[in-house]
Amino acid sequence: MSDALIYPLLLQVALTFVLLFANALMRTGAVGAGKVKPADIVLGQRAWPRQVQQVSNAFQNQMETPTLFFVGTILAVILGVGGPFLLSLAWLWAGLRIVHAVIHTTTNHLRWRFYAFAAGFFVLLAFWVTLAIGIVTR
């Protein structure tokens, strides 16, 4: 069962790459269209158009709490700790990351983005508590 945890991890990795490529395309397009000059962004990010900055921020966000998910998932697989509840939490967390990224890159509605982030955070916390109990009691 613990090997099944790889699939939500792969979904998170795919989300990160989608945001990376979208960010690269949008930035290249903004520079190519003359909306941003290289001198304007060499020392900071504020000169990017709003939509480009939103996607960039969503990508950067994939480097934060997802690291805890990656470590927990790999630990669970290596130690053979899993089960349907842990797997359900992993899928729920990955789904909430997608919801968060969609909000972040579209409406960027702060309240809804926060709700998606907070829900994901508490699911990740439950994932780790479940994992820790599984490790201690195995």
* Predicted pLDDT of residue 41: 85
Angle formed at CA 35 by CA 31 and CA 40, multiple of 5 degrees: 75
Radius of gyration of the CA atoms of the chain, in A: 18
**CA 78 from centroid of its chain's CA atoms:** 22
Tell if the pTM clears 0.85, that is, is over it: yes
Q: What is the DSSP letter of 105?
A: H
Does the pLDDT value for residue 7 go beyond 80? yes
Please, what's the b/e burial string for 62-86 (b: 16 or more CB within 10 A of its CB; e: otherwise)?
Answer: beebbeebeebbebbbeeebbbeeb
pLDDT digits over 82-99, tens only?
899 999 999 999 999 999
pLDDT digits over 15-73, tens only?
999 999 999 999 999 999 999 998 888 877 788 999 999 999 999 999 999 999 999 99
